[in-house]
Structure 1
Amino acid sequence: MNTKVQRVLVSGGGIGGLAVAGALARRGVAVDVVEVRADLEVTGIGISVPNNALRMLKTLGVLDETVAAGYVFDEYVRRDAAGEQIVALPCPSSSDGVPGYLGITRARLAGILRTAAIAAGARLRLGVEIEEFTEGPQAAQVRLSDGREVEYDLVVGCEGLRSPLRTRLFGAQAGPVFTGYSCWRAKPKMPRRVGAMTKFAGATTDAGLVPLTEDEMYLFHVTAEPGNPYHEPAGWRDLLEERLAEYTGLVAEVRENLPPAEEIIYSPLFEVRLPAPWHTGRAIVIGDAAHAVVPHLSQGGSQALEDAVVLAEELTRRTLADALPAFMARRFDRARHLQRLSSTMLVREMTGPPTDREELGAELSREMASVRAYLDQPV
């Protein structure tokens, strides 16, 4: 491992996998991407992309295209269940002009990253997964499910919560941990009615609306689901409508305009708390496979993008033996810190708004200023 990597296999064709494939290919590394799904149809509604992730998209050369495909906003608004405003906080842009926040559909963001990765030279193979993996002193030997046997300098796992590569490397004990909460997402059948990230505090739930385009917005609703019960997908619309019953005002209007059950996404919220290091000699897992986070700071996809950019930087400036520890030195503490902050925010928001709204506004202002200052630090 005395030379820099020249050939990399990326397992997983989601946001993190496409981003790291594009980042490496742009730097001259030969990259294969395998995705177990037979297509890249995206499961999900929308995604909130904060400033730190937008800076990564700028590094990847796709910021302008992403901004054009989404909706830029510069404010975070907190309201009660009736829609009365508690506090509105700015989301300032960076000194380099990158916007404060963006809402975009997951399908559009994934499509932009996929096009960029392929244009940079990454090769994408669908319906293919790793069957056998062996690390050797000169290369990793990989047998793929399409029968090919290929050698790579490094294998990168971007397979999400249920990452097979993570299990292969670190065992089942490294798997995801249920938080006790779940998130419902839907695109209501009505025009966009918010111009910023807008959260509504229920007594024991949390709802939010995020603009996606000039005409579209999406709803998210976080509820306690003790024991992670199974809900029949055919009943998701009725269940979501029931869980939104305490909300009045705009959220009640959204409740009356929910899409059919098959267009609603129900996601139990898990965390992955993989200890350092996230790598062996010739394999590494990144993104949700290493540090899945609850969505309360919009840092799931954001941290995957940061992983992708940093890993590409380190792999193309150092030998492999030095690059992986250097990557961990830059990424582990930051990802773990943001995971803990997100979890703290989740639990607090599920307790409902305090009676002293001025105190809440001041607390949120301090917290968001601290978070913004942290996210603005170089990755």
Structure 2
Amino acid sequence: MADSRTPAQSPAGVNPLVLVVGGGAAGNAVTVLLRRAGIAVDLIEARPDWNSTTGSGITLQGNALRVLRELGVWERLEASGHAFGSLGVTAPDGTVLFVAEDLRTGGDDLPATLGMQRPRLQQILIDAVRASGAGVRLGTTADSLDQDADGVSVRFSDGTTGRYDLVIAADGLNSATRAAIGITDRPEPTGMAIWRVAAPRPASVIRTDLAYGGPAFIAGYCPTGADTLYAYVVEACRDRASVDPAAYADEMRRLAQGYGGAWPEITEHITDPKKVNYTWFHHLLVEGSWHRGRVVLVGDAAHCCPPTLAQGAAMSLEDALVLAELLSAGRDWDDELFQAYYDRRIPRVRTVVEASLQIGRWQLDGVRDADMAGLVGRTMSLLRERP
């Protein structure tokens, strides 16, 4: 790829060039942050349509918003989503049992939580990448990586090649880059699955409400804008062969009909199976290090967890922030730097992964006296600290 940009000088006095593999939240964020530091970046994304984002909505808590503000996109996010500061817990019939104030994990000058439509978030990040001056190629993968002491030679799926000082693997849960550099960890299912759908927002929905029990483990929703929300139902995962995509709306509607409150209004709109997303929950935590030579993992390529704490995107965005900070600090890009990145991230990420898994296990095992509020409170208090 020809590059007319003027990057910062590396500690060795050369102009570093970074390849980011994957154009999701982590890849987009690290690209913008590195470009802001004057480092040249090429980003490749396997999908020809960069914003073919699946899923209906996303819950962004304060620590995620803190990173997104660093990217310079907070004002657009605020205008596009729905901010709120509390969480309701209801009985399956819709009776509100209690409302808890959310901790502002991003600081007091940001909302505790922002709900928004996933495609809208992705488009805002895409626009930020485009504006940063990064090179972007869609419908492109890295077919081979050949490392030496100074960098990585990459052969792309279109037959072209490139030479990079660093490759950042942001290619998600089933990262081909992770496998290519010899990290054998793979995501494992947790035993739970989720049905999601976007729908019009009833006027009564002003925050996330969660109902535990009933036909499923959890039924919840999150407002994503002035008149939109996404709703979800969590159950034990099924054999995928037994779930006909043409019946997705029927299946989700059947489960949702067991809930009261705002759910009858929401359920009326669960009609199009193409708008219903069914996904198993997985978990992954790569231990020891997140790099091999000059290839380093960020986001879901290194770790993932069920969304029981709504922290998956936040952890990925924090990875991008910390890695970009270290790469732009004037240090040599060596094993010591990449290990420092891992050492800084792993205690925080492990806490989130383990807490998210624990909440799911309690539900799968039917534990009724679990200290869920205590676990959530301790975890969120930790996340208020900067990554």
- 176, 184, 193: which is aligned to 1:182? 193
Deviations 1:243-263 (A, max 9, x none): 234323322332232140001
Partner of 1:138 in structure 2? Answer: 150
Number of the residue aligned with 2:60: 49
Q: Which is worse superposed, 99-108 or 221-230? A: 221-230
**Residue aligning to 2:5:** none
Residues 87 and 12 of structure 1: CA distance in aligned 2, closer, same or farther (over 3 Å): same
Query: Hey, what does 2:252 align to over in structure 1?
Result: 240
Task: Specify the alignment match of 2:7 in structure 1.
Answer: none
2:301 to 280, 289, 297: 289
**CA distance in structure 2 between the aligned counterparts of 1:193 and 1:218, rounded to whole angstroms:** 14
Task: Give the alignment partner of residue 100 of structure 2, picking from 77, 82, 89.
Answer: 89
The DSSP-based 3-state class of the residue aligned with 2:20 is strand
Task: Find the counterpart in structure 2 of residue 106 from structure 1.
Answer: 118
Equivalent of 1:10 in 20, 25, 28: 20
Compared CA separation, residues 48 and 36, structure 1 to 2 (3 A): same
Which runs of structure 2 are paired with 1:217-232 in the superposition (5 Å)?
217-226=229-238, 229-232=241-244
- Which residue number corresponds to residue 166 of structure 2? 154
Query: Normalization by structure 2: what TM-score?
Result: 0.90
One-letter code aligned to 2:357? S
Q: TM-score scaled to structure 1, two decimals?
A: 0.92
CA distance in 1, matches of 2:219, 2:156: 43
- Amino acid aligned to 2:172: G
1:343 aligns with 2:357: yes
2:348 matched to 1:372?
no
Identical amino acids, percent of aligned pairs: 31
Q: Distance in 1 between matches of 2:356 and 2:207?
A: 20
Give the match's secondary structure for 1:72: strand
Structure 1 vs Structure 2 CA RMSD: 2.1
Within 2, Cα distance between the matches of 1:180 and 1:353?
Answer: 16
* Contact 2:197-2:270 at 8 Å conserved across structures: yes
Does the CA-based 8 Å contact 1:190-1:257 persist in structure 2? no
Offset at 1:189? 4.7
| Residue 212, structure 1, aligned to residue 221, structure 2 | no
Distance in 1 of aligned mates of 2:29 and 2:362: 32
Q: CA-to-partner distance for each residue in 1:79-102, whole Å, 9 max, x for gaps?
A: 111111222111243545011100
The range that moved more, 86-95 or 75-84, is: 86-95
The answer as to 2:269 corresponding to 1:260 is no
Q: 1:336 to 1:3 in 2, by over 3 A?
A: farther
Shift of residue 2, structure 1, vs aligned partner: 6.7
Give the Cα–Cα distance (whole angstroms) in 2 for the partners of residues 344 and 156 of structure 1: 30
Q: CA deviation at 1:336?
A: 1.3
1:95-138 deviations in whole A, cap 9, x for unaligned?
Answer: 45011100011111111111112211211110100011011111
CA shift, 1:344, in A, is 1.2
Measure the CA separation in 2 of the matches of 1:128 and 1:235.
33
Counterpart CA distance in 2 for 1:153 and 1:120 is: 19
Residues paired across the two proteins, number: 372
Q: Distance in 2 between matches of 1:92 and 1:259?
A: 36
Q: Of 323, 326, 329, which residue of structure 2 is paired with 1:311? A: 323
For residue 84 of structure 1, what is the amino acid of its counterpart?
T
8 Å CA contact retained: 1:74, 1:99:
yes
Quote how far apart the aligned CAs of 1:3 are.
3.5
| Equivalent residues of 1:31, 1:122 under 8 A apart | yes
1:177-210 deviations in whole A, cap 9, x for unaligned? Answer: 0111111100135645311111111244211010
Structure-2 residue corresponding to 1:71: 82
Corresponding position of 2:127: 115
Cα pair distance change 1:26/1:312, threshold 3 Å: same
Cα distance in 1 between the residues matched to 2:81 and 2:179 = 35
Give yes or no for the alignment of 1:31 onto 2:41.
yes
Contact 1:192/1:217, CA 8 A, preserved across alignment: no
SS of alignment partner, residue 313 of structure 2: helix
* 1:14 partner amino acid: G
Partner of 1:124: 136
SS at match of 2:220: strand
Measure the CA separation in 2 of the matches of 1:76 and 1:33. Answer: 37
- Asked if the contact 2:257/2:263 (under 8 Å) is kept, the reply is no
**How far is the alpha carbon of 1:149 from its aligned partner?**
1.1
**Counterpart residue type for residue 138 of structure 2:** L
Q: Which residue of 1 aligns with 2:3?
A: none
Structure 1 stretches of 4+ with a deviation exceeding 4 A read: 226-230, 349-354
Q: Secondary structure at the match of 1:294?
A: coil
Kept after mapping to 1: 8 A contact 2:89/2:209? yes
